Amino acid sequence: MNQDAFLELNSVACQYGNTKVLNDINLSVARGEFVALLGSSGCGKTTLLRVLAGFITPSAGQVSVRHRDVTVLPPDKRGMALVFQSYALWPHMTVAQNIGYGLKLKRVPKTEIAERVGAMQTLLGLDGLGNRKPSALSGGQRQRVALGRALAVDPEILLLDEPLSNLDARIRLTVRHELRALQKRLGITAIHVTHDREEAMVMADRIVIMNAGRIAQQGSPEEVYNRPASAFVAAFMGAENVITLEGTLQGDSFAIAAGPANAAGHVALMARPLASGIVEARFRPEAAQLFAADTPIVGPGITFRGEVSAVSYPGGHWRHSVRLAHREIMADSPRAFEPGEQVSVHIAPEALFLFNSPDAKPAPAISLPTAGKVHA
């Protein structure tokens, strides 16, 4: 048990029938920390949130708050509040009535309810809207009402089940910063479920990446983004370009052999647990440097040669689909290269994520021309 933990899960498991949804979850959360549970649909993150909230009893393990076992306690005895993805506002109640609903259930005196509801409306920028029904509010306002209802009961822990997913993109950017600022101001402990990588990065103190009911990696946003612990985490954090390479350990560096579409190169190990042999190399499109094929490239890293097959402009840069000898990758550049143009794609060592891949097979040996088209 972690003596510094405010919220702690020890070996928590959950299953529906014979299907395991959560498996051996161990997680410690400090008081006032904002933790994002990040993962794709079906990874178990929402189930984990509902285990925390008390809506689901785990099949094994323990949930503790301030070292008090709350595993089998009902939701209203845990000192937590949950903001649902759908907000779950009562349509027949006003803003003020929705915010004060939890207080009413707790039989708080009417005068105190009115005071706390008024304070919540001011805190969340809802002054003057107390008599409106949810149908007369914007999506951002409804989200604030749901948040106000959760905060009004003064919870020790705030649970957020993708509360921003129903907002349009522009409002979502504003509300995520408002929510983070409010959490820091109140010093409340928050657990936020999301499938949005950027949302987790800008809001959380710590990101817990989940995969198939397990924690794949946890750490600060900078850590999980720049030092992914596995190929899965690297891909989930945007490094979706993948190439199979072969290399050899040489002291404190990893020497990459020349392949069907790459020149020989080397990268510093930088504490990467690599062994000589086949590796899976991943990198992000924005980490690639794109050059004309005849441009000399000097320095550590790895350089691929290929042919541009498509170009698009997503905004701020040009994105290229580049055909290598055996697959296509995506690479960004401040200028556009023409389809059919021969290019070199260079990846710096710190942007190249390498993982030993025992099941991978080396690409077929295809000779590269010194100039002109790369043959598939």
pLDDT digits (tens, 9 = 90+) for 3-62: 678 999 999 999 988 889 999 999 999 999 999 999 998 899 999 999 999 999 999 999
Reported confidence tier of residue 359, pLDDT bands at 50, 70, 90: low
Over residues 281-308, the mean pLDDT reads 91
Identify the pLDDT of residue 175: 79
pLDDT at 358: 58
CA dist., res. 183 & res. 163, Å (int): 14
Q: Of the given ranges (223-232, 280-289, 320-329, 361-370), which has the lowest mean pLDDT?
A: 361-370
**All domains in the chain, ordered by first residue:** 7-231 (3.40.50.300), 239-356 (2.40.50.140)
Q: What is the mean pLDDT of the chain?
A: 88
- pLDDT at position 174: 80
pLDDT of 292 above 80: yes
pLDDT recorded at residue 87: 76
| 241, pLDDT greater than 50 | yes
Chain CA centroid to CA 163, Å:
15
The proportion of the chain whose per-residue pLDDT surpasses 90, expressed as a percent, equals 58
Q: Is the pLDDT of residue 264 over 70?
A: yes
pTM for this prediction = 0.85
Answer yes or no: is pLDDT of 353 > 60: yes
Residue with tokens 């994520």: 353
In angstroms, how far is CA 109 from the centroid of its own chain?
A: 42
Cβ atoms within 10 A of the Cβ of 186, count? 14
Report pLDDT for 372: 37
Q: What is the pLDDT of residue 369?
A: 38
Q: Is it the case that residue 194 has pLDDT exceeding 70?
A: yes
99 three-state secondary structure: helix
Indicate the pLDDT class of residue 346, thresholds 50, 70 and 90.
very high
- ∠ CA(70), CA(2), CA(9), 5° rounding? 40
Asked if residue 289 lies in contact with residue 347, where contact means CB atoms within 8 angstroms, the answer is yes
Residue 195 has pLDDT above 80, yes or no: yes
